[in-house]
Homo-oligomer: A and B are copies of this chain.
Amino acid sequence: MTITPTPQTSLGHPVQAPRSNGPVGTGEPPKRSRSATRERLLDAAAVVFAARGVAGASVEEVCERAGFTRGAFYSNFATKDELVVALLDREEGALLDQLTTALGDALTDPDPVGACAQRLFELQPFGAHNYALRAELTLLAVRDPSLAAPYRATRRSFRDRFLPFLSEGLAAARLELTVPADDALDTLEALFEASVRASIVAGDPNAPDNLAARMLPVLLGAMTTPRCD
């Protein structure tokens, strides 16, 4: 299961509603608008970067996959790096969205903890493609301090927006954290990361019996205490 820039079924860019620009709300045909092309380029970049790595990916392949030429690209982004930063921004939002809805769903499950483990594990951002992309973006921040700042900001924003959901979930389960929320989040994130990576490398993605599923209850138990209210 090599990660390849899947041959692109059509010119459809399934996910991500186009950021509104100009007069919107009217169902225009995919207008030749600046922001629309940016989105398509970003979509393409996500796939190609995931497969080949940022350094290994050529601007050309990104454009090709997006259905444009390099001319269009350089008309939208000054450089490849700029594309990377833009992508980093976008991915954070996508991740947050998916996390929160998945968590919301899981809470209605008879076994909330187990449901969390499995549902989060199956999230797109934890699939092979997106895992590679996220890992690489992180790696870039580790290497390049000029990216570290935006990276930290992005994470901070993610945290601030996600923590409420975590609290909510714990409250619903009648649990209270016994460690700092940031630490809990980091630890759980690390667990999922390791779990997803192991599954990918093992070749059986979405394995229902994964590290996260086994360890989440244990870790959660260690980091929380039942609350009597």
Chain A residues at the B interface, C-beta cutoff of 8 Å: 1-3, 50-56, 128, 131-132, 135-136, 138-139, 141-146, 148, 151-152, 179-180, 183, 186-187, 189-191, 193-195, 197-198, 200-203, 211, 214-215, 218-219, 221-223
Contact = CB atoms under 8 A, between A and B. Distances in A.
Contacts of A52: 55, 143
A34 to B, nearest CB: 30
A1 B56 CA distance: 24
A100 to B, nearest CB: 21
A202 B156 CA distance: 12
Contacts of A187: 191, 194, 211, 215, 219
10 contacts: A141-B201, A142-B197, A148-B201, A148-B203, A179-B214, A179-B215, A186-B198, A189-B194, A193-B193, A221-B222
Given A179-B218, A194-B186, A215-B183, A139 B145 contact: no
A215 B189 CA distance: 13
Contacts of A195: 186
A192 to B, nearest CB: 9
A201 B197 CA distance: 21
A228 to B, nearest CB: 22
A185 to B, nearest CB: 10
A138 B218 contact: no
B139 A132 contact: yes
Nearest to A144: B2
Contacts of A132: 139, 142-143
Contacts of A203: 145, 148
Nearest to A192: B190
Contacts of A186: 194-195, 198, 211
A130 to B, nearest CB: 11
